[in-house]
């Protein structure tokens, strides 16, 4: 029931928008996302732990494919994330001039529906189908509403991610064949593949996620795409789409090819951490705010991925927790970018400065976001990062050290950007408007979530606790 509702509410909303093409598309889209959020919250309120199956229908039984949908704590966390994030993404569109708002919001809703599907699927093939489906609305969003060079960049992004998707498809098909056609996650996790097979199968499965996340050096599509994409498209990409990669690793890589993961663990962690440092270093000298945020996201994601591959409770738990925090952070950051761009008409840092004189409230909101961005304690990011560092330390000490350099780098570029945008003497020209009602309505709840979950992370950590321990016990068992 819940699964069906989650899939259908946004989907039907999107269809309604496409068919009726109402003049006021946003309120309808917002209502749909809020309705689905209510469903997710209900699912959370009634969740008592363990794994829940909502739906189990025969589909193509000849191949052993079943329409299995459900979630455990981690799945619920990501459903929550999807539910929480989308109302804000839709709301972020208010007041922004756009053509064809009905189609635009319909595409957003389609994305949400498919994302729910990704996080609900309990079958590898079903997962794959939703995983690739999400690409279609996002592709259209980028292609029609993107900025400069949108065609070539979108095509590149599309082809690149599809390439990873192909590898994933191959891996899943191989698993299906090996497993007698049973593609349920639980059944796949119970497989015991020979170590040699796992070593190459790991990359077949992981490549798609590595590109989606992205980790170094597969991130080439990201900065340009983030820079070019419409604001809301970037939010979707950065806040949720990327988490599909993490979730995929958690669901399909760690439990299915444990020996392969162990074999490549160090490689992936090192790559991810290199990416984290690399993104942090590059971000500092970016002259464009959007690119700076894009590289900072690369840096954060590197850490997330490293934490996940630490392969212990703190690393995995922290990474999953941080996935949520990062989504909220990305929303805030890009919203701020949009708000700043709206006021200054540019995203070029060199052309900015002193916005605080005209917009002190916006500056204060930005500052609160910055606090989360540098993972100060009592914000959500800190809990996740602390857990990840603890996890990384248990693997190798210098992994934790390498990861920790990002907190220095983060402080450097985040505060640099803040200073370039907000501080300094005021600029000549028409006074920019201070933060509006809309800005407050979007940012204040997000910041409140950040602080609340920073002080009291228990509810979310409890979601992660059980599944992660179960995963680990499955890994250590012979």
Q: Mask 50-69, x = binds other proteins (CB under 8 A)?
A: --------------------
Closest CB 171 distance from other proteins, rounded Å: 19
φ and ψ of 447, to 5 deg: -65, -35
- Choices 42-50, 158-166, 231-239, 438-446 (CB under 8 A): range interacting with other proteins: 158-166
Closest CB 465 distance from other proteins, rounded Å: 6
What 3-state DSSP class applies to 38?
A: helix
Q: Which of 54, 156, 396, 438 binds other proteins (CB under 8 A)?
A: 156
- Tokens 């690119």 belong to residue: 291
The DSSP result for 125-142, as a single string, is: HHHHHHHHHTHHHHHHHH
Distance (Å, whole) CA 302 – CA 308: 10
Tell which phi-psi region holds residue 375, choosing left (phi > 0), alpha (psi between -120 and 50) or beta. left
Sign of CA dihedral 122, 126, 131, 135: negative
Q: Which of 44, 386, 427, 438 binds other proteins (CB under 8 A)?
A: 386
Q: Is 458 in the site for other proteins (CB under 8 A)?
A: yes
Task: Using alpha carbons, list the distances in angstroms from residue 355 to 339, 340, 342, 364.
Answer: 11, 8, 12, 11
Size of site (CB under 8 A) for other proteins: 70
Q: Mask 133-152, x = binds other proteins (CB under 8 A)?
A: -------------------x
Q: Is 340 in the site for other proteins (CB under 8 A)?
A: no
Closest CB 190 distance from other proteins, rounded Å: 23
Q: Is 419 in the site for other proteins (CB under 8 A)?
A: yes
Distance (Å, whole) CA 431 – CA 197: 63
Site for other proteins in 344-363 (CB under 8 A): 354, 356-357
Q: Is 431 in the site for other proteins (CB under 8 A)?
A: no
Closest CB 283 distance from other proteins, rounded Å: 8
- CA 240, distance to chain mean position in Å, is 3
Q: Is 461 in the site for other proteins (CB under 8 A)?
A: yes
Q: Which of 97, 194, 425, 478 binds other proteins (CB under 8 A)?
A: 425
Closest CB 428 distance from other proteins, rounded Å: 14
Site for other proteins in 89-108 (CB under 8 A): none
Distance (Å, whole) CA 94 – CA 361: 19
Q: Which of 217, 266, 345, 433 binds other proteins (CB under 8 A)?
A: 217
Closest CB 409 distance from other proteins, rounded Å: 9
Site for other proteins in 250-309 (CB under 8 A): 278, 281-286
Cβ partners under 8 Å of residue 24, min gap 6: none
Q: Which of 34, 35, 67, 412 binds other proteins (CB under 8 A)?
A: 412
Bridge partners (DSSP) of residue 70 are 53
Measure the CA dihedral 49/51/55/60, to 10°. 170
Q: Which of 38, 159, 431, 444 binds other proteins (CB under 8 A)?
A: 159
- Choices 68-76, 103-111, 196-204, 460-468 (CB under 8 A): range interacting with other proteins: 460-468
- Choices 105-113, 244-252, 330-338, 387-395 (CB under 8 A): range interacting with other proteins: 387-395
Strand 65-71, strand 52-60: pairing = antiparallel
Distance (Å, whole) CA 299 – CA 307: 13
Among 60, 67, 140, smallest CA distance to 106 is for: 140
Among 235, 237, 240, smallest CA distance to 80 is for: 240
Are 463 and 43 contacting, i.e. CB atoms less than 8 angstroms apart? no
Choose between 35 and 411: whose C-beta lies nearer to other proteins. Answer: 411
Are 412 and 367 contacting, i.e. CB atoms less than 8 angstroms apart? no
Q: Which residues bind other proteins (CB under 8 A)?
A: 152, 155-156, 159-160, 163, 216-221, 223-224, 278, 281-286, 313-314, 317-318, 354, 356-357, 364, 367, 371, 374, 376-378, 382-383, 386-387, 389-390, 393-394, 397, 400-401, 404-405, 407-408, 411-412, 415-416, 419, 422-426, 455-458, 461-462, 464-465, 468-469
């Amino acid at each position: 029931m819940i699964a069906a509702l989650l899939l259908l509410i946004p989907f039907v909303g999107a269809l309604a928008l496409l068919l009726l093409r109402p003049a006021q598309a946003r309120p309808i889209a917002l209502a749909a996302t809020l309705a689905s959020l209510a469903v997710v919250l209900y699912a959370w309120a009634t969740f008592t732990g363990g794994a829940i199956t909502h739906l189990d229908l025969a589909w193509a039984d000849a191949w052993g494919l079943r329409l299995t949908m459900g979630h455990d704590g981690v799945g619920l966390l990501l459903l929550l994330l999807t539910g929480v994030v989308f109302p804000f993404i839709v709301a972020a569109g208010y007041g922004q001039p756009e053509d064809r708002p009905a189609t635009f919001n319909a595409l957003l809703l389609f994305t949400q529906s498919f994302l729910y599907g990704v996080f609900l699927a309990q079958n590898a093939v079903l997962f794959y189908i939703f995983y690739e489906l999400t690409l279609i609305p996002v592709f259209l969003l980028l292609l029609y509403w993107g900025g400069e060079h949108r065609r070539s960049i979108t095509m590149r992004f599309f082809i690149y991610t599809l390439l990873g998707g192909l590898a994933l498809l191959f891996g899943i098909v191989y698993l299906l064949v090996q497993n007698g056609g049973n593609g349920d996650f639980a059944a796949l996790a119970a497989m015991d593949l020979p170590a040699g097979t796992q070593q190459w199968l790991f990359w077949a499965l992981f490549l798609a996620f590595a590109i989606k996340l992205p980790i170094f050096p597969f991130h080439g599509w990201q900065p340009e795409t983030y820079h070019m994409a419409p604001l809301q498209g970037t939010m979707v990409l950065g806040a949720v789409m990327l988490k599909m990669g993490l979730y995929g690793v958690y669901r399909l890589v760690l439990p299915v090819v444990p020996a392969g993961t162990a074999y490549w663990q160090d490689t992936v962690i090192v790559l991810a951490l290199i990416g984290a440092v690399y993104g942090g270093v590059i971000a500092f000298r970016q002259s464009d705010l959007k690119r700076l945020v894009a590289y900072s996201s690369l840096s954060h994601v590197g850490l997330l991925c490293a934490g996940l591959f630490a392969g212990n409770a703190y690393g995995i738990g922290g990474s999953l927790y941080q996935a949520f925090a990062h989504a909220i952070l990305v929303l805030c950051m890009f919203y701020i970018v949009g708000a700043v761009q709206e006021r200054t008409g540019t995203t070029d840092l060199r052309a900015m400065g002193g916005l605080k004189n005209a917009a002190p409230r916006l500056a204060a909101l930005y500052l609160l976001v910055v606090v989360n961005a540098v993972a100060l304690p009592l914000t959500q990011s800190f809990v996740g990062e602390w857990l990840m560092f603890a996890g990384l330390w248990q693997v190798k000490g210098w992994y934790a050290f390498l990861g920790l350099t990002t907190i220095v780098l983060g402080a450097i570029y985040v505060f640099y950007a803040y200073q370039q945008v907000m501080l300094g003497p005021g600029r000549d020209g028409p006074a920019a408007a201070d933060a509006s009602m809309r800005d407050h309505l979007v940012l204040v709840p997000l910041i409140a979530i950040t602080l609340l979950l920073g002080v009291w992370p228990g509810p979310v950590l409890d979601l992660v606790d059980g599944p992660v321990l179960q995963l680990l016990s499955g890994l250590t068992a012979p």
